[in-house]
Structure 1
Amino acid sequence: MRLHTSTWGSGDRIALLVHGLMADHRTWRRVGPALAELGYRVIAVDLRGHGLSGRAAGPEEYRPEDYADDLVETLPAGAELAVGHSLGGLALAQALERLEPARAVYSDPAWHLGAGPAGYRAEVFVRGKSMTREQIRGFNPHWSEEDLDAEGAAVRLWDERSAYGLREFVGADLWPARATVPSLVTLADPSMLIPPDAARMLASRGFTVRTVAKAGHTIHRDDFDGFMSTLGEWI
Structure 2
Amino acid sequence: MRLHTTTWGSGDRVALLVHGIMSDHRTWRRVGPALAEQGYRVVAVDLRGHGASGRAARPEEYTPESYADDLVETLSTGAELAIGHSLGALALATAVERLAPRRAVYVDPAWHLPAGTASTRAELFTHAKRLTREHIRVFNPRWAEEDLDIEIDTVGLWDERTAQSLAALVGRDMWPAKPAVPSLVALADPSLLVTADDARMLTGRGFELRTVVGAGHTVHRDDFDGFMTALKGWI
Equivalent residue of 2:118, what SS?
A: coil
Deviation at 1:155, TM superposition (A): 0.4
Distance 1:66 1:123 in 2: 24
Q: How does 1:81-160 map onto structure 2 within 5 Å?
A: 81-116=81-116, 118-120=117-119, 121-160=121-160
C-alpha distance in 1 between matches for 2:191 and 2:166: 20
Contact 1:62 1:166 survives alignment (8 Å): no
Whether 2:80 is the aligned partner of 1:45: answer: no
Q: Measured at CA, do residues 194 and 216 of structure 1 come closer, stay the same or move farther in structure 2, by a change above 3 Å?
A: same
Please tell me the residue identity of whatever aligns with 1:158: W
Counterparts of 1:28-39 in structure 2, within 5 Å, are: 28-39=28-39
| 2:97 alignment partner AA | E
- 1:180 equivalent to 2:190? Answer no
Could you report, residue by residue, the CA deviation over 1:131-160 in whole angstroms, capped at 9, with x for unpaired residues?
A: 000000000000000111111110000000
Q: 1:171 matched to which residue of 2?
A: 171
TM-score relative to the length of structure 1: 0.98
Amino acid at match of 2:202: L
Q: What amino acid is the match of 2:182?
A: P
AA in 2 matched with 1:189: D
CA deviation after TM superposition for structure 1 residue 198, in Å: 0.1
Instruction: Please state how far the C-alpha of 1:124 moved relative to its aligned partner.
Output: 2.4
For the Cα contact (< 8 Å) 1:212–1:226, is it kept in 2?
A: yes
Amino acid at match of 2:152: G
Q: What is the TM-score normalised by the length of structure 2?
A: 0.98
SS at match of 2:190: coil
* SS of structure 2 residue aligned to 1:21: coil
Could you tell me which amino acid in structure 2 is paired with residue 207 of structure 1? F
* Cα RMSD for the two superposed structures: 0.8
Letter in 1 for 2:27: T
Between Structure 1 and Structure 2, how many residues are aligned? 234
2:118–2:167 CA contact under 8 A, matched in 1: no
How far is 1:130 from its partner?
1.3
Q: Percent identity?
A: 72
Give the superposition deviation at 1:125: 1.1
Describe the SS at the equivalent of 2:6: strand
| Superimposed CA distance per residue, residues 78-133 of structure 1 (whole angstroms, 9 cap, x where no aligned partner) | 000000000000000000000000000000000001113x4345342121121000
Deviation of 1:195 (Å): 0.5
SS of equivalent to 1:234: coil
Tell me, yes or no, if structure 1 residue 20 matches structure 2 residue 20.
yes
1-structure distance, mates of 2:126, 2:234: 35
Separation (CA, whole Å) in 2 of partners of 1:102 and 1:211: 22
Give, as a single letter, the amino acid of the residue that structure 2 aligns with 1:208: E
**Map of 1:216 onto structure 2:** 216
Distance 1:78 1:50 in 2: 25
Q: Secondary structure at the match of 1:193?
A: coil
Amino acid at match of 2:113: L
Matched residue, 1:56 = 56
